C-alpha cells in the first residue's frame, strides 16, 4: 500500500461524502456488445455480484472467449450458494436477447450457468434453457466499471475556480497533493492489472496491457480484444509469419486492403501474410474485426499512431517476447533500462519503413515504439504492476521525466493552475502529470456546473 494514496483517497471521499452517491451513470452509447464482452473478460466489472434473486455469486474462472457458435464464454466456474458451478456464460445487451436469439431452445446453451445483461426489462423475465433449467441472472451496471464508462466529455479549456486557491497555496502543499493523487492513481491502475493477472495469469496480463497501450488513445479496446482473442500462449506457438497473419487477419486490416492500391514492396509483404492467412481464415472468420468504424478509430490519428502500424509493433513485440516481458515477470527482475532499451530497439522488416499498408515507404527508418509510448507503458503498466509488489519502486518512478505530449495534461494544467507562475514546476515529472490527471478526472470531468458546485476549491483549504 502506498501511504500517500490514502490521503488523496480520503480527500476525495470526503469531498463527495460518499463516492456511491454520485449521480448514477448511464451506459456510454459507443460501447458495443463486443466491448462489453471484452470488458467482462478483462474482469473490469469485478468478480463479486448480486443476482437478480438478491443472492451473492462470485466468478472463479472466466473461461475461454468462444469464437465458434454457442455461448460467449465456455469452461467457466462460479461460486453460488456454497457450490462451485461449472459451465458457460452468456452476455447480452438486453435480458430479452436470450429468447430473441433463440438461446432458450438451443441445446448448445444447455450448460450456461450465468446469464449477464446490461438492460433489464420492466417485467421480471427468467432465463431458461431448452431443458427448462433456470439460469442465474446478473444485471451489469455502468457503476461496476465507472472508470471505463466515464462520460466522454472534456472540460472547458479555461482556468477553473480552483486556480485561485491553488495560486495561494504553498508549493510544498501542492507538491504533496500531486504526489498523493499520483500514488492513488498508480495504485488503482496496479489493482486493475493484478485483477487481470488473477484471471488470466501474469504473462497474458502483461501481453494484454502492452497491446492495450499500443492502441494509444482511440484504439485501446480493439487492441485488448485482439490480445484476448489471440492469447499469448497460442501466439507463441506460431511461427512469426503465422502470428503476423493472425494479427492482420483477425484485425480485419488484411482483407480491407486492395492489392492494386498498394506499393510493390507492400504487395510482397501482403502476399507473404496471405500465404498463411488463407489456411487459418475459416477458423477465425467469426472473429474478424471490421477494419473501419466503429471498432477501429482511424480518423484523426497521426500516421505514426495508425493502428496498422501498431499491430505491426505488437508483432515485433511478440518476436522478442522473452526480452520484452522478462523485466515484468518478477519484481526482483525489474530493470527499467533493459525494458526501455528493448522496446526502443524493436525493428520490423516492413513496419520500420511504413506508416500504413497504403503508404509509400518512408526514406528514414521509423521507430516501431517511440519514447512517449514507452513512457506510457512505464506509467500505466510497469510501475503500477510492480510498485504494488514493492513500494520502494515509488522513488524510482518519481524520477521519471514528463515526456508525454498529452492534450489532456495541457487541459488539466490550464484548468487547475491557470496563469500560476510556477505551474511549469509541477509538470516536470511524470508522477506530477499523473497526479494532475487524477484530479482532473475526479473533479473536472465529474463537474456539470461550470465549477460552481465543484467541492475541490473549498476542500483545498483543508489540504493546506
- When asked if residue 15 is in the footprint of ligand SF4 (CB under 6 A), the reply is no
Residue number with CB closer to ligand SF4 (225 or 451): 451
- When asked if residue 206 is in the footprint of ligand SF4 (CB under 6 A), the reply is no
- When asked if residue 296 is in the footprint of ligand SF4 (CB under 6 A), the reply is no
Based on its alpha-carbon atoms, the radius of gyration of the chain, rounded to whole angstroms, reads: 24
- When asked if residue 447 is in the footprint of ligand SF4 (CB under 6 A), the reply is yes
Residue number with CB closer to ligand SF4 (166 or 295): 166
- 136 to 175: interface string for ligand SF4, x by CB under 6 A: ------------------------xxx-------------
- When asked if residue 451 is in the footprint of ligand SF4 (CB under 6 A), the reply is yes
Smallest separation (angstroms) from ligand SF4 to the CB of 298: 32
Residue number with CB closer to ligand SF4 (232 or 412): 412
Binding segment for ligand SF4 (CB under 6 A), chosen from 309-317, 324-332, 382-390, 439-447, is 439-447
- When asked if residue 443 is in the footprint of ligand SF4 (CB under 6 A), the reply is yes
Q: What residues does 112 pair with on adjacent strands? A: 88
- Taking alpha carbons only, the member of 77, 67, 88 closest to residue 47 is 77
By the 8 A CB rule, do 157 and 368 touch? no
- When asked if residue 437 is in the footprint of ligand SF4 (CB under 6 A), the reply is no
Binding segment for ligand SF4 (CB under 6 A), chosen from 121-129, 286-294, 342-350, 441-449, is 441-449
- When asked if residue 231 is in the footprint of ligand SF4 (CB under 6 A), the reply is no
* Euclidean distance between CA atoms 186 and 383, whole angstroms: 8
| Grid cell digits, residue 400 | 521519471
- Cβ atoms < 10 Å from Cβ of 345: 12
Q: Rounding to the nearest 10 degrees, give the CA dihedral for residues 413, 417, 420, 423.
A: -40
**Whose CB is nearest to ligand SF4?**
160
Running DSSP on this structure, what letter comes out for residue 292? S
By the 8 A CB rule, do 286 and 68 touch? yes
- When asked if residue 460 is in the footprint of ligand SF4 (CB under 6 A), the reply is no
- When asked if residue 92 is in the footprint of ligand SF4 (CB under 6 A), the reply is no
Residue number with CB closer to ligand SF4 (160 or 307): 160
* Euclidean distance between CA atoms 313 and 351, whole angstroms: 8
Residue number with CB closer to ligand SF4 (163 or 242): 163
Cell 499523473 locates to 434
Applying CB under 6 A, the site for ligand SF4 has a residue count of 12
Helix axes 264-284, 240-250, angle to 10 degrees: 80
- When asked if residue 177 is in the footprint of ligand SF4 (CB under 6 A), the reply is no
User: C-alpha distances in angstroms, 444 versus 10, 153, 314, 413, 417?
Assistant: 18, 10, 34, 11, 13
Parallel, antiparallel or unpaired: strands 56-61 and 64-65 = unpaired
| Grid cell digits, residue 81 | 450458494
Distance from chain centroid for Cα 42: 9
Answer for which of 205, 206, 250, 454 binds ligand SF4 (CB under 6 A) is 454
Smallest separation (angstroms) from ligand SF4 to the CB of 444: 3
Give the footprint of ligand SF4 on this chain (CB under 6 A).
160-162, 415-416, 443-444, 447, 451, 454, 456-457
Amino acid at each position: 500500500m502506498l501511504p500517500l494514496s490514502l490521503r488523496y483517497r480520503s480527500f476525495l471521499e470526503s469531498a463527495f461524502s460518499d463516492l456511491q452517491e454520485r449521480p448514477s451513470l448511464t451506459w456510454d452509447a459507443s460501447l458495443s456488445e463486443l466491448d462489453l464482452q471484452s470488458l467482462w473478460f478483462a474482469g473490469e466489472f469485478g468478480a463479486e455480484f448480486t443476482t437478480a434473486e438478491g443472492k451473492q455469486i462470485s466468478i472463479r474462472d472466466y473461461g475461454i472467449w468462444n469464437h465458434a457458435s454457442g455461448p460467449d464464454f465456455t469452461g467457466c466456474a462460479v461460486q453460488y450458494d456454497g457450490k462451485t458451478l461449472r459451465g458457460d456464460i452468456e452476455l447480452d445487451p438486453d435480458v430479452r436477447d436470450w429468447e430473441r436469439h433463440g438461446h432458450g431452445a438451443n441445446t448448445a446453451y444447455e450448460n450456461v450457468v450465468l446469464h449477464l445483461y446490461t438492460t433489464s426489462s420492466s417485467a421480471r423475465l427468467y432465463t431458461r434453457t431448452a431443458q427448462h433449467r433456470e439460469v442465474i441472472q446478473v444485471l451489469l451496471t455502468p457503476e461496476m466499471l465507472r472508470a471505463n464508462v466515464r462520460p466522454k466529455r472534456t472540460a472547458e479549456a479555461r482556468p477553473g475556480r480552483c486556480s485561485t486557491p491553488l495560486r495561494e497555496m504553498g508549493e510544498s502543499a501542492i507538491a504533496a497533493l500531486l504526489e498523493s493523487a499520483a500514488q492513488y492513481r498508480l495504485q488503482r491502475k496496479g489493482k486493475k492489472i493484478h485483477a487481470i493477472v488473477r484471471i488470466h495469469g501474469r504473462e497474458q496480463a502483461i501481453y494484454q496491457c502492452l497491446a492495450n497501450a499500443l492502441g494509444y488513445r482511440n484504439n485501446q479496446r480493439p487492441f485488448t480484444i485482439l490480445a484476448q482473442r489471440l492469447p499469448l500462449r497460442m501466439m507463441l506457438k506460431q511461427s512469426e509469419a503465422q502470428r503476423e497473419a493472425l494479427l492482420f487477419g483477425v484485425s480485419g486490416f488484411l482483407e480491407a486492403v486492395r492489392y492494386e492500391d498498394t506499393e510493390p514492396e507492400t504487395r510482397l509483404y501482403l502476399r507473404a501474410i496471405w500465404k498463411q492467412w488463407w489456411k487459418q481464415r475459416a477458423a477465425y472468420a467469426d472473429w474478424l474485426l471490421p477494419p473501419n468504424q466503429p471498432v477501429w478509430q482511424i480518423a484523426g490519428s497521426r500516421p505514426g499512431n495508425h493502428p496498422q502500424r501498431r499491430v505491426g509493433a505488437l508483432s515485433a513485440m511478440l518476436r522478442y517476447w522473452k526480452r520484452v516481458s522478462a523485466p515484468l515477470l518478477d519484481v526482483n527482475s525489474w530493470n527499467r533500462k533493459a525494458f526501455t532499451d528493448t522496446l526502443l530497439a524493436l525493428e520490423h522488416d516492413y513496419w520500420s519503413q511504413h506508416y500504413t499498408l497504403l503508404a509509400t515507404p518512408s526514406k528514414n527508418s521509423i521507430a516501431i515504439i517511440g519514447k512517449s509510448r514507452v513512457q506510457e507503458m512505464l506509467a500505466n503498466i510497469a510501475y503500477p504492476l510492480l510498485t504494488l509488489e514493492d513500494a520502494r519502486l515509488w522513488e524510482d518512478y518519481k524520477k521519471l521525466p514528463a515526456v508525454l505530449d498529452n492534450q489532456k495534461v495541457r487541459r488539466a494544467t490550464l484548468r487547475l493552475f491557470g496563469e500560476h507562475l510556477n505551474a511549469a514546476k509541477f509538470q516536470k515529472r511524470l508522477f506530477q502529470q499523473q497526479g494532475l490527471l487524477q484530479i482532473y478526472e475526479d473533479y473536472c470531468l465529474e463537474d456539470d456546473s461550470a465549477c460552481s458546485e465543484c467541492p475541490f476549491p473549498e476542500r483545498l483549504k483543508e489540504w493546506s
